């Protein structure tokens, strides 16, 4: 009985420590996630067009990604979803090295879509949670913007691999590495409404998705600013009035 009660007491003492540790490092983890996602989007993905080795860097980033997600979120289901997406990415890397490029990039895009949707939920809850607006939470809003672009990029890439005529100007499915890179490029040019015109949606589905992403890209900054100002004003309202 004594040993059981001592173990229960230890568990009760560990939980508050973990919660305090999570509160302390949750905001810095947002910055870490931003750096990881930016490196994957703007360094690793473009290099997949010219080299096979960058695909191996994606599984190597997995432990850091899992640690950051665990710190930001206390939901086990979200962590399991991220782990499932990372496992799919690892399998995609193995398929790519074995010569099955088309299947590997399709699986990689599906894994990216799964992980991005999970990250969107986790990061949005952390960024918009009540509390002090820190530098890291401001960085977290940029992370949300990147995640939205990543989600649409994965959807565009999947569509292009399955229906090669869905876009004009995008690389054919025979070159899946270029599909991933160009889907990311088209997604962010649409999200920012830059619209360079070298890649054009050519059917109703891709046009509709492009319109939706462009609208989100326009409304997102205003929504974020309004939410941040609301949290900031709520913080001021909680302060006691001067005597």
pLDDT greater at residue 166 or residue 93: 166
Long-range own/partner contacts, residues 125-132 (CB < 8 A, 24 or more apart): 125/73, 126/26, 126/27, 126/30, 126/72, 126/73, 127/30, 128/227, 128/231, 130/231, 130/234, 131/231, 131/235, 132/235
The pLDDT score that the predictor gives to residue 17 is 65
Whether pLDDT at 81 is above 90: no
The pLDDT score that the predictor gives to residue 151 is 94
At 53, is the pLDDT very low, low, confident or very high (cuts 50, 70, 90)?
low
The pLDDT score that the predictor gives to residue 153 is 92
The pLDDT score that the predictor gives to residue 13 is 55
Q: Write out pLDDT tens, residues 10-19.
A: 445 555 665 6
Is residue 34 within 8 Å of 123, Cβ to Cβ?
no
Q: What is the rounded average pLDDT of the residues 179-187?
A: 87
At 148, is the pLDDT very low, low, confident or very high (cuts 50, 70, 90)?
very high
Q: What is the rounded average pLDDT of the residues 223-241?
A: 68
How many CB atoms lie under 10 A from the CB of residue 98? 10
Distance of CA 179 to the CA centre of its chain: 19
Q: What is the rounded average pLDDT of the residues 94-110?
A: 79
Q: What is the rounded average pLDDT of the residues 40-51?
A: 75
The pLDDT score that the predictor gives to residue 229 is 73
Q: What is the rounded average pLDDT of the residues 101-108?
A: 79
Q: Write out pLDDT tens, residues 196-225.
A: 888 999 989 999 999 999 999 988 888 887
The pLDDT score that the predictor gives to residue 59 is 56
Q: Which of 5-9, 98-102, 205-209 has the lowest mean pLDDT?
A: 5-9
- Of all residues in the chain, the percent with pLDDT exceeding 90 is 16
Whether pLDDT at 1 is above 60: no
Residue with tokens 């560990």: 14
- pLDDT, the chain, mean: 78
At 238, is the pLDDT very low, low, confident or very high (cuts 50, 70, 90)?
low
**Max alpha carbon distance in the chain (Å)?**
73
The pLDDT score that the predictor gives to residue 80 is 84
């Amino acid at each position: 009985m004594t040993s059981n009660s001592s173990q229960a007491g230890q568990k009760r003492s560990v939980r508050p420590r973990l919660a305090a540790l999570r509160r302390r490092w949750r905001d810095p983890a947002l910055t870490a996630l931003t750096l990881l996602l930016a490196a994957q989007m703007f360094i690793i993905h473009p290099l997949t067009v010219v080299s096979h080795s960058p695909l191996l860097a994606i599984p190597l980033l997995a432990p850091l990604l899992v640690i950051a997600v665990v710190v930001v979120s206390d939901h086990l289901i979200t962590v399991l979803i991220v782990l499932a997406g990372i496992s799919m990415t690892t399998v995609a890397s193995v398929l790519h090295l074995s010569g099955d490029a088309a299947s590997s990039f399709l699986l990689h895009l599906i894994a990216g879509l799964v992980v991005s949707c999970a990250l969107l939920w986790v990061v949005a809850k952390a960024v918009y949670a009540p509390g002090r607006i820190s530098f890291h939470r401001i960085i977290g809003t940029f992370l949300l913007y990147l995640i939205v672009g990543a989600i649409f990029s994965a959807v565009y890439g999947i569509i292009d691999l399955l229906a090669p005529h869905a876009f004009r100007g995008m690389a054919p499915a025979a070159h899946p590495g270029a599909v991933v890179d160009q889907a990311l490029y088209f997604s962010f040019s649409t999200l920012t409404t830059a619209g360079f015109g070298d890649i054009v949606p050519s059917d109703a589905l891709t046009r509709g998705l492009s319109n939706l992403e462009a609208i989100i890209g326009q409304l997102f900054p205003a929504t974020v600013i309004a939410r941040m100002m609301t949290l900031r004003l709520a913080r001021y309202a909680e302060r006691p009035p001067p005597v």
